[in-house]
Amino acid sequence: MLCAATVAGCVITGRDLDRRYAAVSDDPARILVCHGYGCDERQEVSLTAEEWGYIVALFAPPAASAAVERARVAAAIGRMERFIGPKTGTAGDQARSAVFTFDARGQMDCLDESTNTTRYLRLFAAHGLLRFHAIGAIAYRGRLVDGIGPHNAATLRDIATGQEFAVDSWFHANGQPAEIAPLDDWRRGWRPTADAPPGGGNVGGGPALP
């Protein structure tokens, strides 16, 4: 893909991105996945019953608090990527994708990542896996003049407190837990420190992979 097209992806605002690409099916056997930068490639994939059962098991027993539920969400996003990557050719997706690239095959920019993560979150919600959170629209940050580069992320809203959180899977390679941070902090340029484990290290082990 040409550089110009690559740059265009992450400058689409969250509302436009959500409207264009983030429609969701509640069927784990029909998941539309974006990749190739700017949602240039869209591919429908299926999770097996065993794979989807693993995702469901990550949320059992039900979380006792919103914080615990967010940790499970972070882990589940990583596992979704791990299952889907070999089916879409994105298993080798690298962390913090370059803004400029001449070959985006198998890679995902923040537009792809935020769209896919939003779809996964809506799938979790449709199956009753979330008790403490509602799914928000895709968020956007960075106006260049503020010193923060253009970037997008999925969002969650704590139902009890109204606090919003960014759910950002762009910071790590395919299959790693997503980062979840208060949306206000994320809009101000938040990013994980270089030595922090993916997902803040608070994601739990989960059941054995199928």
Tell me, what DSSP letter sits at residue 30?
S
Q: Strand, helix or coil at 67?
A: helix
Label residue 87 by pLDDT band (50, 70, 90): very high
Residues 6+ apart with CB under 8 A from 163: 157, 182, 183
Highest mean predicted confidence (pLDDT) among 59-68, 83-92, 95-104: 59-68
Sign of CA dihedral 198, 91, 164, 27: negative
Q: What is the DSSP code string of 93-154?
A: PPSS--S--S--TT---HHHHHHHHHHHHHHHHHTT--SSEEE-PPEEE--STTS---EEEE
Question: What does the buried/exposed string (b/e) look like for 114-128 if buried means 16 or more CB atoms within 10 Å of the residue's CB?
Answer: bbbbbbbbbbbbeee
Judged by average pLDDT, the poorest of 15-19, 132-136, 190-194 is 15-19
CA dihedral 25, 65, 61, 70 (to 10 degrees): 40
Tell me, what DSSP letter sits at residue 61?
S
Evaluate if residue 210 carries a pLDDT over 80: no
In single-letter form, the type of residue at position 61 comes to: P
Evaluate if residue 92 carries a pLDDT over 90: no
In terms of Cα–Cα distance, which of 193, 164, 192, 188 is closest to 179?
192
Mean pLDDT computed over 71-93: 94
Which has more pLDDT, 90 or 105?
A: 90
> How confident is the model over 70-79, as pLDDT tens digits?
999 999 999 9
Q: Residue 24: its pLDDT value, please?
A: 65
> How confident is the model over 149-193, as pLDDT tens digits?
788 999 999 999 999 999 999 999 899 999 999 999 999 999 888
> How confident is the model over 139-148, as pLDDT tens digits?
998 876 555 7
Evaluate if residue 13 carries a pLDDT over 90: no
Residue 205 exposure: Cα atoms within 13 Å on the Cβ side: 2
Give the distance, in angstroms, between the CA of residue 23 and the centroid of all CA atoms in the same chain. 14
Euclidean distance between CA atoms 113 and 78, whole angstroms: 11
Label residue 59 by pLDDT band (50, 70, 90): very high
